[in-house]
Structure 1
Amino acid sequence: MAPHTVVVSERPLPEDTRATHRRLDVRGTRLHLAEYGTGTPLLMLHGFPQHWYAWHRVAALVPDGYRLLCPDLRGFGWSGRTARGYDMDALAEDALALLDALGLERVGLVGHDWGAHLGFRLCLRAPERFTGYLALNMSHPWPRHRAVLPNLWRMWFTAFVEYPVLGRAVLRHWPGFTRFLLRHQVADPAVWPDADLAEYAAATSASAPAVQSLFWQYVLKDIPALVRGTWRRHRLTVPTLLLGGERDVVVRPSLLAGAEPYADELTVRLVPCAGHHLPQERPGEVAEAVRTFFDGRR
């Protein structure tokens, strides 16, 4: 595939009558954007193995007065898939270019899982663009090594995703793998309707090259940067609320501590009896966090 080639999914969108949809040309690709509501804009960044629909439960509970901007990351969902552009810096440039295309100078930021990892990168690169940051189920850029090392085994599943040939084959041809991860990573698997599991399994299969590239770029670039302590030279100036699941099997609560010396205003809060998918497991608490955290930052 030539670097400029853009492939856009023709799969039907999940039904949500409250959402409006459009596509915007951004940095050599076409990003799909789902929007909810009007008012104060919030950029909502999804994680793996999901897309814009990851926010539909939260969107139903967020109070009036907010405009939720829920893009599919490059290569995910209904955004264009390209041969390159899946490292965090490139995805951050996509997000900033999307805000420019929408004519938005400053917004609130919400991210989950990989979207939360990307959110931290955005706040460090362009803090002037964000009024505040709500991060869900993700460690910050300054994890303590003594907390990381005992939990590395929890990332076992990445070995089936990150390698170019194996990862794409697993993601494309083994939908049971995606279903297993979604069920395994929540405190109560019953929170997943069968239709949602089917949707995300199909979406992951269709987006296999992008998903694998995202994980591989993390191995090539982000892990070495963490080992070198690259982000210790940077300070988080965007007010941030970090929510974690008390029973998160991927990002354990111990990984959320230790950022205080590198942040001006960072609060960490655990959600009891919740796992790794707070937008699915605790949409009401996420919506309430949106209200309490961003109401004073309009």
Structure 2
Amino acid sequence: MPHRHPLPGPRPLPDLPGVRHRHVDADGVRLHLAEAGQGVPLLLLHGFPQHWYAWRKVIPLLSGEFRLLCLDLPGFGWSEAPRHGYTTDDRAHLVLAALDRLGLPRVGLVGHDWGAWTGFELALRAPERFTGLLALNMTHPWPRQRALLGTAWRFWYTALLEYPGVGRRVVRHRPGLLGHLLRRATAAEHPWPAQELAEYVSAGSTPEAARAAERLHWGFVVRDIPRLALGRFNRRRLTVPTLLLGGEQDPVIRPSLLSPAGVPADELRTEVLPGCGHFLPHERPEAVAEAVRRLLSCA
């Protein structure tokens, strides 16, 4: 079991050498920030059902070259869980507010899963704030409709999470679901350490995180899915240099969803890593670190 140390709040933090912890006031919402290294600032946004510790294998690989800013999204990890504010628009607003509070006008951006979806919104909304976007295990906002319809069934588990008043109870009282989602989405050759799996299940099933999970998924249903269905993203152009990295064995975000064909973007490249599933920061941290270096070398 990794050594843990306290931060104001109900749960102790996993310990990772060289990582500093603090809270940042983002427009009135206290967001937890795990920070490591020095140099060019690089913001890292985790996915579901994780928190900043999702980057534990990536941090040692990049902390000698970048100032790593691993932000817990609202309601997850050690960030405050506000009553409202879980749509993609809300998350993007809070992230930008956090960057303002930190005095960072421009950063590199890495996002995984929901963090990557938030990253696309950030890059579209405020392109001047980001030198590049590395999106991991997430489709871009312009997937081909045929590919989207052909893979929609793979999101079956979201039906258990998204409905108001129901999703939070499922997560809270059936925490084994989170462990199942983590295990099934990872390639067999990259198993989770038992302690790390237990950390995400424990953190993700607190009352605050369970409510955040429900509202995050419901926000996607009522706001983002209609935008995708109506082609609203086609009116927006991606100008931030972007690399989209996927896993060949990802059971949710299939490689067919990553095609850059017809995407309104100045520079969007996609790569699929063989033998990998949905959690590239865990399964292939060295590939994630190398992708960061390639993407931001000319920034």
Indicate the larger mover: 99-108 or 284-293: 284-293
Distance (Å, rounded) in 2 between the aligned partners of 1:180 and 1:174? 11
Residue number among 270, 279, 282 corresponding to 1:280 in the alignment: 282
- Read off the aligned partner of 1:246 and give its amino acid letter: E
- Is 1:200 aligned to 2:200, yes or no? yes
Distance (Å, rounded) in 2 between the aligned partners of 1:277 and 1:238? 24
Cα RMSD for the two superposed structures = 1.2
- Is 1:292 aligned to 2:294, yes or no? yes
1:58 is matched with 58
Unaligned runs of 5+ in 2: 1-7
- Read off the aligned partner of 1:233 and give its amino acid letter: R
- Is 1:172 aligned to 2:172, yes or no? yes
Indicate the larger mover: 101-110 or 16-25: 16-25
Distance (Å, rounded) in 2 between the aligned partners of 1:286 and 1:234? 27
Which residues of 2 match residues 114-125 of structure 1 at below 5 A? 114-125=114-125
SS in 2 for 1:251: coil
Distance (Å, rounded) in 1 between the aligned partners of 2:271 and 2:190? 24
Q: 1:63–1:291: 8 Å Cα contact kept in structure 2?
A: no
1:220 is matched with 222
Q: Deviations over 1:202-234 (max 9, x none)?
A: 111111001110000100100011111111000
- Read off the aligned partner of 1:275 and give its amino acid letter: G
- Is 1:37 aligned to 2:37, yes or no? yes
Q: 1:127–1:237: 8 Å Cα contact kept in structure 2?
A: yes
Aligned residues: 290
Q: 1:45–1:112: 8 Å Cα contact kept in structure 2?
A: yes
Unaligned runs of 5+ in 1: 1-7
Identity score, percent: 57
Residue number among 246, 250, 253 corresponding to 2:252 in the alignment: 250
Deviation at 1:167, TM superposition (A): 0.7
From the superposition, tell whether residues 272 and 228 of structure 1 become closer, same or farther in structure 2 (CA, over 3 Å).
same
From the superposition, tell whether residues 226 and 59 of structure 1 become closer, same or farther in structure 2 (CA, over 3 Å).
same
- Larger proportion of helix: 1
Which residues of 2 match residues 6-85 of structure 1 at below 5 A? 9-62=9-62, 64-85=64-85
- Is 1:93 aligned to 2:103, yes or no? no
Q: 2:190–2:283: 8 Å Cα contact kept in structure 1?
A: no
Deviation at 1:170, TM superposition (A): 1.1
SS in 2 for 1:61: helix
2:4 is matched with none
Q: 2:42–2:67: 8 Å Cα contact kept in structure 1?
A: yes
Q: Deviations over 1:229-285 (max 9, x none)?
A: 111000000000000001110000000014544000011011111000000000011
Residue number among 269, 272, 277 corresponding to 1:270 in the alignment: 272
4+ runs of 1 displaced by more than 4 Å? none
1:150 is matched with 150
Distance (Å, rounded) in 1 between the aligned partners of 2:178 and 2:237? 35
Q: 1:191–1:280: 8 Å Cα contact kept in structure 2?
A: no
Deviation at 1:38, TM superposition (A): 0.4
Q: 1:260–1:266: 8 Å Cα contact kept in structure 2?
A: no
SS in 2 for 1:293: helix
2:113 is matched with 113
Deviation at 1:161, TM superposition (A): 0.5
Deviation at 1:65, TM superposition (A): 2.2
Q: Deviations over 1:150-186 (max 9, x none)?
A: 1111000001100122211111111210000000001
